[in-house]
Structure 1
């Protein structure tokens, strides 16, 4: 039987590495800069027209886009790039418990770290737009202008009419948060697996390849490369929505009852199944993994 106490102990040990770690500080500083750069268009638009926004709308517009999700996930890899975390104390830990418990501790650490990171992105975007925001669960006039007038497309803000009509800001931000969290967990699991089977270099390469694959299958790029239009464009859009993990994590690339894109529920189930399979392979690999221990100060 697994010991939840030991699993949580390994997670706490990983979090202790955050203390005085320049890598952690740099990650969150860069994340704040990323939010500032990506949210600038939305805030400038509201300021220009003298309109207000719902508190979470800037986050929704910013991270409802596949490119923004990709950039944030690549930055997250700076936070999680060292998994599996091996310290001079790891040999002692593995003697006192099973390797599977150690992996589960790593898994829990990755999940909590990803949740903290995405929560940080949410808080930063809310702070940046606080001077023009209200907290009511109702879409703003700014959203209506961006969605129904087509201005959002011109300034590259993914304000979806489907989102405005089929959900509320609170429900929308919750779904985007969950999708981003699952995508981050999926990406980190791929990196973890390649780190174990090959090395950390291939772990980073695997993350970049998966993100580039998702970016290639984004509707805009796919359309430009193959010069699609009409029915072919729609079919390609649906295919990209199903085949790309990045599109599965993008809110507006889902079915709200009007097309053949995957529903949010289906995307969540697919992510959970694939992540479960990846961690099954990780647990299988770690049983035979030969750890390389580096003494402190070397």
Structure 2
């Protein structure tokens, strides 16, 4: 229990530094602009049809290849300063030891990713709040956009997937997509942490960016079976095949793959801190 409190102390210290980090405000602004660009036409459509829209937007934002890619690049931008060795970290490193310090950084990546996607979920709901109503169904607006071309007249560029609506309830889709996004984002953060411990900070960001782009590359260059090796791709609901009858990964496979990857990368992250000299780095 004492160890967990130390992990939380280390991770919360990193999160508190967000308040004085201009990079965080830039990221929040860019994400807000991205979301408004895709959600404002849906709000206009809702106002025109005189039907309120339900809040279940996140599964479609996280499923669309472009917005999904930009969200994952946001994770790269958020954790590009891994292994987070600022001027205050030597104190925690000496006080807690390498193992607990490394675990604190792993906790930070997990908690930071959670906050990141909670922010996206909250802002997406906030942007349609002027014409919002809560329901455990998809609602007429999202249902109409999924089953017709009505949105073209309003320049709605965010695809509202009928496949998602037919396979999942709104709560199922939101919960599953949020969990998968969190797992994929955590994996990217851990990969950057491990690589940057051994090399320059830019290398981790480059590798993570390649992993993000691999999702797009599979769609155009590889067979669907390649999705089995793309953690970023497995965070998109329409990539997964619940029936298991196609070459795409199943939900169970994706959950097991992502969980094992997070566990292994967390262990490697802790071991890597023991093997390398960690130096104080300038803020990014």
What CA RMSD, in Å, does the superposition of the two structures yield over aligned residues? 2.6
Larger displacement relative to structure 2 (201-210 or 46-55): 46-55
Tell me whether 1:289 sits opposite 2:276 in the alignment: yes
Larger displacement relative to structure 2 (27-36 or 92-101): 92-101
Name the structure 2 match of 1:60. Answer: 59
What do the CA deviations read for 1:4-35 (whole angstroms, capped 9, x no partner)? Answer: 22222211221231232222222212221121
Matched ranges for 1:219-298 at <5 A: 222=220, 236=223, 238-257=224-243, 259-260=245-246, 261-293=248-280
Matched ranges for 1:1-298 at <5 A: 3-56=3-56, 58-149=57-148, 156-218=157-219, 222=220, 236=223, 238-257=224-243, 259-260=245-246, 261-293=248-280
Quote the Cα distance in structure 2 between the aligned partners of 1:208 and 1:54. 33
Would the aligned equivalents of 1:62 and 1:68 in 2 still touch at CA under 8 Å? yes
Quote the Cα distance in structure 2 between the aligned partners of 1:190 and 1:294. 18
Secondary structure of 2:18's aligned partner: coil
Distance 1:294 1:203, change over 3 A: closer
Secondary structure of 1:134's aligned partner: coil
Quote the Cα distance in structure 1 between the aligned partners of 2:225 and 2:207. 23
Larger displacement relative to structure 2 (23-32 or 85-94): 85-94
Q: Any gaps of 5 or more consecutive residues in structure 1? A: 227-235
TM-score, length-scaled by structure 1: 0.84
What do the CA deviations read for 1:7-66 (whole angstroms, capped 9, x no partner)? Answer: 22211221231232222222212221121123234334434444432122x323222223
Quote the Cα distance in structure 1 between the aligned partners of 2:89 and 2:59. 41
What do the CA deviations read for 1:178-215 (whole angstroms, capped 9, x no partner)? Answer: 11111110111111111112111101111111111111
Quote the Cα distance in structure 2 between the aligned partners of 1:121 and 1:88. 30
Would the aligned equivalents of 1:190 and 1:278 in 2 still touch at CA under 8 Å? yes
RCO greater where, 1 or 2, for CA within 8 Å and sep 6 or more? Answer: 2
State the 1:152 CA deviation. Answer: 7.1
State the 1:105 CA deviation. Answer: 0.4
What do the CA deviations read for 1:68-92 (whole angstroms, capped 9, x no partner)? Answer: 1210121232222212111334333
Quote the Cα distance in structure 2 between the aligned partners of 1:164 and 1:295. 47
Quote the Cα distance in structure 2 between the aligned partners of 1:159 and 1:257. 21
Distance 1:45 1:294, change over 3 A: closer
Would the aligned equivalents of 1:138 and 1:168 in 2 still touch at CA under 8 Å? yes
